[in-house]
């Protein structure tokens, strides 16, 4: 097993153990969906219409609150020094960290989505587009989020700053992702267009975010 695989395995393991982030992410995701459902009231037709966008927003928010931990814990116990010192290509290591975040946060959210779709009276035809848009879009959320986490890792508390940095970068992902999910249910031709834009955004993030994260990490080493 090489170093990067070991990092992914370790991060996923830590996230799924007690006190790790996976459970929190799914719990928060569910809470947000339930709150929206309550706020929308008993009108089932309204809930169906907003179900896909609400799930997308909830997934984005759940991802957002989990970002701080990507690098902070490692920095505080000295593991980040070891990871950076043993990394031959820091950008690839940053990509591995983002991949680990997606596996421990994005994937559980995707798995939980069908259940929450039921709660929100999601249309039968909307499940597949919603899941597909999440599968394509959540890696972008992890990649961009990991970049914001790397940028702010040397600050004592960075939750607000991470939200400010990441919001404009997340907005296009949300627009395309939720747009694809809604259009897919209706059989709208916008569905394919939104998916293509979403894929392009994820690919762009996959190339840019690790490079930017590596530069940010290097600037943040004490």
Residues binding another protein (CB under 8 A): 1-3, 5-7, 10, 13-14, 17-20, 76-79, 81-88, 147, 151-152, 154-155, 158, 161, 164-169, 171-172, 175, 204, 208-209, 212, 215-216, 219-222
| Nearest alpha-carbon partner for 133 in 64, 197, 218 | 197
104 and 21 Cβ atoms separated by less than 8 Å: yes
> Which residue, 30 or 190, has its beta carbon nearer to another protein?
190
Minimal distance, residue 75 CB to another protein, in Å? 9
Going 29 to 30 to 33 to 39, the CA torsion angle's sign is negative
> Which residue, 23 or 34, has its beta carbon nearer to another protein?
23
Going 144 to 147 to 152 to 153, the CA torsion angle's sign is positive
Minimal distance, residue 97 CB to another protein, in Å? 13
Minimal distance, residue 121 CB to another protein, in Å? 24
Q: CA 207 → CA 140, 147, 160, 212, distances in Å?
A: 10, 12, 26, 9
> Which residue, 15 or 109, has its beta carbon nearer to another protein?
15
> Which residue, 39 or 88, has its beta carbon nearer to another protein?
88
> Which residue, 13 or 111, has its beta carbon nearer to another protein?
13
Burial grade of 206 (CB within 10 A; 0-12, 13-18, 19 or more) = middle
Minimal distance, residue 203 CB to another protein, in Å? 12
Minimal distance, residue 33 CB to another protein, in Å? 22
Q: Could you give the CA distance from residue 78 to residue 74 in angstroms, rounded to a whole number?
A: 6
Minimal distance, residue 141 CB to another protein, in Å? 15
| Nearest alpha-carbon partner for 212 in 170, 150, 165, 160 | 150
> Which residue, 43 or 81, has its beta carbon nearer to another protein?
81
Q: Could you give the CA distance from residue 217 to residue 222 in angstroms, rounded to a whole number?
A: 10
Q: Could you give the CA distance from residue 141 to residue 67 in angstroms, rounded to a whole number?
A: 10
């Amino acid at each position: 097993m090489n170093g990067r695989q070991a990092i992914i395995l370790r991060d996923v393991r830590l996230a799924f153990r007690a006190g790790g982030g996976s459970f929190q992410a799914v719990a928060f995701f569910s809470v947000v969906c339930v709150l929206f459902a309550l706020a929308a009231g008993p009108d089932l037709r309204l809930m169906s219409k907003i179900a896909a966008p609400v799930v997308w927003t909830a997934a984005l928010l759940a991802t957002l609150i989990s970002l701080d931990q990507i690098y902070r814990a490692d920095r505080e116990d000295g593991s980040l020094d070891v990871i950076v010192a043993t990394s031959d290509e820091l950008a690839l290591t940053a990509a591995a960290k983002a991949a680990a975040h997606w596996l421990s946060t994005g994937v559980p959210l995707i798995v939980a989505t069908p259940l929450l779709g039921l709660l929100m009276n999601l249309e039968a035809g909307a499940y597949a587009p919603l899941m597909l848009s999440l599968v394509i879009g959540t890696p972008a959320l992890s990649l961009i989020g990991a970049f914001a986490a790397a940028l702010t890792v040397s600050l004592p508390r960075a939750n607000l700053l991470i939200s400010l940095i990441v919001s404009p970068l997340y907005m296009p992902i949300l627009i395309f992702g939720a747009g694809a999910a809604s259009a897919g249910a209706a059989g709208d031709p916008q569905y394919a267009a939104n998916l293509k834009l979403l894929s392009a955004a994820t690919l762009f993030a996959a190339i840019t975010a690790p490079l930017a994260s590596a530069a940010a990490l290097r600037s943040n080493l004490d």
